[in-house]
Amino acid sequence: MSNQNSSFRLGMIIISMIYFIFGFVTTFIITLSDPVMEAFDLTYTQGFLVNSAFFISYALFSIPSGSVVKKIGYKSSIVLGLLLMAFAGFLFFPAIRTESYPFFLGAILLLSLGVVILQTSCNPFVTKLGPPETASGRLNLTMALNSIATWLAPLMIVALILPAAVPEVAAVAADVIPEGIRPADLLPPFIIIGFVILLVAIGVRFTNLPVLSQEGVGNYKTVFKYRHVLLGALGIFCYVGAEVGIGTAISSYVVQPGLGGGVSRELAMKFVGLYWAGAMIGRLFGAIALSDIKKKQLKVIFALLVIVWAFVVSFITLEYSIAMSITFLGFAIVNYFLMQLGKGKANLVLSVFAIIAVIMATTSMLSTGRVALWSIVSIGLFNSVMFPNIYALAVKGLDRSEVSLATGIINTLIVGGAVIPVLMGIVADALNIQYSFIVPVICYLYILFYALIGSKLKPVGETAAAGPTQSE
């Protein structure tokens, strides 16, 4: 038993590191559109193809990836995903050297294929590294590390890609024309990513990870009969779409003088960083609340450490402003106490957070100034546990042979990250950006339905009167 626990702990350490990697890469690509547009001299439509090339892979490759994981196993699939990402990182060298944007998009597509395989293998792997009742807590812990990466990725773009700012007065006095971003400026981070991921792939290959069997007779025909899997996949579509859509709209929203307070463009980008940092803080709280830690005193100590970390993160992100950091800290503390209403149950926590997200997004639509700003930015805290909780509910009750296949179906619907922001853009163009948040409100209402009703275990087509069901 002791050897098994040690093996599981090693597995959690390795998988947590991999969550960090694909979280970093995903956010790095999401925030790369503006530099790419400038480097390749593109239109907005062409520049946004960066995100489309990345997220479309979920629709194309998730189900095939589930079959690959079922055939070659979790560890081999993880190594395969890492190697594909590393190879894609090196492909950016010829793509950028030849200044070929189609080649560049092809490298992004291959990079995202590696991410899809990692997610298809890592998510079920984590759920099986311990008791099923604490699977959501383990997913929240690993995704908290994923969220740390999403906080750091934009900083890497600033440090390695964006040219050093030249003060306007000094530039005029010295008759200096500030340099723009060139294609070659995009190369260093991709080369670094390629080498780091290659080293991790080699390390994982020679590490003794727990061997988790996928015994059973599961196939896609059996998986598609589970209603909670299919409804959960749609929940992932809504969650990822809402999260990415809000994250994309924040910087344009908060600079509007009559809406989000008219903050500067630079500070607006920092609020975007705080939005993603909120997911990290909420997932750390989720890892505590949904864990198998028995001692309440220990949970309180961990929660206090996360609260301190929330203040530090906001203080660093928001230009060392104590007032704004305290405001964010207040939302973080509310997030923690609201999480307790879920009593450690994934579906109850999910329902509470969906309700809060609806309230916050609606408040932002109906208000202006700092109220509108903070109500939309703080949604990041309540997005936090949605993905791991939806996923844990969607694969509940499946045998090992079905989990990887179900994960492929669920991950396919991550394509919501490419669809929902476009719908928000259409509403923003037709009305204004403030009312575009009605789209994520609808998404969160569906998530509320899934938490309370859709996550109950029933075969497809079975009615509520057909018999008792199980829920979280």
Task: Provide DSSP, 246-261.
Answer: HHHHHHHHHT-TTTT-
What are the boundaries of each domain within the chain? 1-207, 218-458
**Domains 1-207 and 218-458 equal at CATH topology level:** yes
pLDDT tens digit sequence for 341-351 = 877 688 898 99
pLDDT band at residue 445 under the 50/70/90 scheme? very high
Classified as helix, coil or strand, 459 is: strand
Q: What's the pLDDT at 106? A: 92
Does residue 65 register a pLDDT over 80? Answer: yes
pLDDT band at 176; cut points 50, 70, 90: very low
The 3-state DSSP class for residue 226 equals strand
198 pLDDT above the threshold of 70? yes
Q: Are 116 and 56 in contact (CB under 8 A)?
A: no
3 state DSSP class of 163: coil
Structure tokens at 312: 């530090």
DSSP state of 162: S
Q: What is the mean pLDDT of residues 56-63?
A: 85
The listed range with the strongest mean pLDDT (275-284, 312-321, 378-387, 409-418) is 378-387
Single-letter code of the amino acid located at 233: A
Q: What share of the chain is helix, strand, coil (3-state, %, to 5)?
A: 80, 0, 20
pLDDT band of residue 158 (cuts 50, 70, 90) is low
Tens digit of pLDDT for each residue in 89-115? 999 999 998 889 999 999 999 999 999
CB contact at 8 A, 427 and 439: yes
Task: Please determine, for residue 221, whether its predicted confidence score (pLDDT) is greater than 50.
Answer: yes
What one-character DSSP code corresponds to residue 450? I
For residue 312, the tally of other CB atoms under 10 A from its CB is 12
pLDDT(232) > 80 = yes
Q: What's the start-to-end Cα distance of the chain, in Å?
A: 27
Residue 174 has pLDDT above 50, yes or no: no
Confidence of residue 358 (pLDDT cuts 50, 70, 90): very high
Superfamily of domain 1-207: MFS general substrate transporter like domains (1.20.1250.20)
Query: How is domain 218-458 classified at the CATH fold level?
Result: Growth Hormone; Chain: A; (1.20.1250)
User: In the prediction, which pLDDT does 140 show?
Assistant: 67
- What is the DSSP secondary structure assignment for residue 164, as one 8-state letter? P
Q: Residue 88's pLDDT band (boundaries 50, 70, 90)?
A: very high
